[in-house]
A and B are shown apart, each in its own frame.
Chain A
Amino acid sequence: MSRDELNASEREELAALDRILAREPVGEQHLELAALVDSVRAGAPRMDPAFAERLDARLAAHRRRGGGAGARVARPGIRRLALAGSGLVAAAVAFTIVISSGVLSGGTTHPPAPANGPALSILPRKAPGATTTPTGATSAFAGSSVGAVPSTNLSVGRSLSARLVRRDSALTLATSPASMQSVANRIVAATEQRGGVVESSNVAIQGPASHASFSLAVPTGRLGSLIAALSSLASVRALNQNSNDITNSYNAEQARLADNVAARAALLKALATAATATQQASIQKQLNRLAARIAAEQRELDRLLGQGHTATLHVSVVAGASAKHAKASAGPFTTAFHRALHALEEILAIALVVLAIVLPFALTALALWWGATAVRQRARERAMRTA
């Protein structure tokens, strides 16, 4: 039996005590306890009638000031305040969602289409053969319209004053298997709309394993616009953009061509003044070799120029990200919904940060309060012991 446990007769006595205090009859064996209770109660200090009146008046004054009815009023007041606060928070959240969804600014939002201005003012000059890989999607869009388009009427021997840049990009999109075909069709349409061509494509609809890939060629100046358009069709998983400055290669090829053209002119002059058949045959042989070289150089120049004119874009579409695939066929409200989710995520993130800041303070305050309460209670018990 533990220290706290009472035996049966002790429990019976405590039960009898409760009956005595409730003025219920008890057995003879408990009459002595009843007398003890009576003596203690009779000996307890009694409230002075004057004090009783004063106490009544004090409490009545409390009720009048803000008590009885006041408390009843106060709580609905707090409730109204809480309601108003909740309303304000809800309005702020709704406002944030609406603003971030872009509904007010006219429906669907797409990544900003890059300007099609002169690329040369944007692209930094690089050493020949340098390759740049934009890292962020935003910066990728910002610089995606670059691609020097030198004059097509290049005269032989004149080097480029503008930069000639070869661009190729890779874009990975994610959409639901159900939207795969629709997204594929839109990719083709968007490419053709911008004067591009689909060099190769592969679309496989196989449920969750559905995928599609495209190799697109598009005028360099419209690459940014195409990427922006395709990015709005589905969730962008990855975007990789490479640029390669081929100006120096072009210029070197151009210089070699100019030299060969000059050499051919000199040989033609020599042929005209050749005295013997042997000399003529020799010059003709050199002219033939030179003509082949000039043709090859011209082809190379055309190839380099084509690279500068036309950018390649490899697009892969994978199945997944069902929450975001709806973008492919999203109307303004669907887009707004996604934006709202995004806004809520951001609000949650902010709330977490705030919580991370507030929580240590709150825990410290709680610990201090708890400690102070425990100390105060201990002091009270000590006061009781020494009373």
Chain B
Amino acid sequence: MTVIAALPTSGPGAGEQFEQLYRSSAADVYAYVASLLRDRTAAEDVTALAFERAFRRRALFDVRRGTPRSWLFAIARNAALDELRKRRRTGALLHEIADPSTELEDLDSELAERRLLVREGLASLEPRDREVILLKFVGRLSNAELARVLRCSESNAGTRLHRAIERLREVCGVTR
């Protein structure tokens, strides 16, 4: 897991630290936001907005309140939820992400079938469960970081995560 201890805004290496955070997190942030919004164009806008906002506010980052990665995901989450609210108000049309089945053509049938099943299972989950799984699996946040993003205690975050995994297993028909 990529952890940057602090995000200095001055002194040598300050720009490099943010660059490192950006390089290590951009794809994950995009994946998380796109999964939440299910809209490629909106996800791109929100991802860009989140990084710009993080860049502008990096002086406000407080290392005592979490890692840079959890801070960045919290910004991205707020931006994505604001986008969802805006969309609900304006009734904007979704630009659905491409049909995943076309991306699975090259895989062997069993793996492709499994991934399709998981993808559909994930899509059918409650948004709150889906979010916690995305933050953990895609965002690769620790439970403490998860707690910071979801604004709950670490044990609560762990419980929510475990229950979400159980539900995912359930809808995918996976047994342990």
- The contact sample of 7 A-B pairs, CB cut-off 8 A, is A10-B162, A18-B142, A18-B143, A46-B27, A46-B30, A67-B56, A386-B88
Q: Does B81 contact A (CB under 8 A)?
A: yes
For B133, give its contact among A40, A45, A62, A380 (CB under 8 Å).
Answer: A40
Whether the pair B118, A36 counts as a contact (CB closer than 8 A) is yes
For B162, give its contact among A14, A62, A383 (CB under 8 Å).
Answer: A14
**Beta-carbon nearest neighbor of B86 in chain A:** A383
Chain A's interface: helix, strand, loop or mixed, by majority?
helix
The stretch that binds B, out of A50-58, A176-184, A210-218, A246-254, is A50-58
**Which residues of chain B come closer than 8 Å to A29, judged between CB atoms?**
176
Whether the pair A68, B14 counts as a contact (CB closer than 8 A) is yes
The stretch that binds B, out of A1-9, A117-125, A307-315, A345-353, is A1-9
Interface residues on chain A, number (Cβ under 8 Å): 52
Interface residues on chain B, number (Cβ under 8 Å): 66
**Which residues of chain B come closer than 8 Å to A58, judged between CB atoms?**
48, 51-52
**Which residues of chain A come closer than 8 Å to B36, judged between CB atoms?**
387
Whether the pair A75, B15 counts as a contact (CB closer than 8 A) is no
Number of A-B contacts (CB under 8 A): 157
Q: Contact residues of B with A, CB < 8 Å? A: 1, 9-11, 14-15, 18, 22, 26-27, 30-32, 34-36, 40, 43-44, 47-48, 51-52, 55-56, 58-59, 78, 81-82, 84-85, 88, 97, 100, 114-115, 117-119, 122, 127-128, 131, 133-134, 136-138, 140, 142-143, 151, 153, 155-156, 158-159, 161-162, 165, 168-169, 172, 174, 176
Known: A14-B143, A72-B10. A384 touches B84 (CB 8 A): yes
Within 162-212 of A, Cβ neighbours of B (below 8 Å) are at: none
Q: Does A71 contact B (CB under 8 A)?
A: yes
**Beta-carbon nearest neighbor of A76 in chain B:** B10
Alpha-carbon distance A13/B164, docked complex (angstroms): 13
Whether the pair A62, B137 counts as a contact (CB closer than 8 A) is no
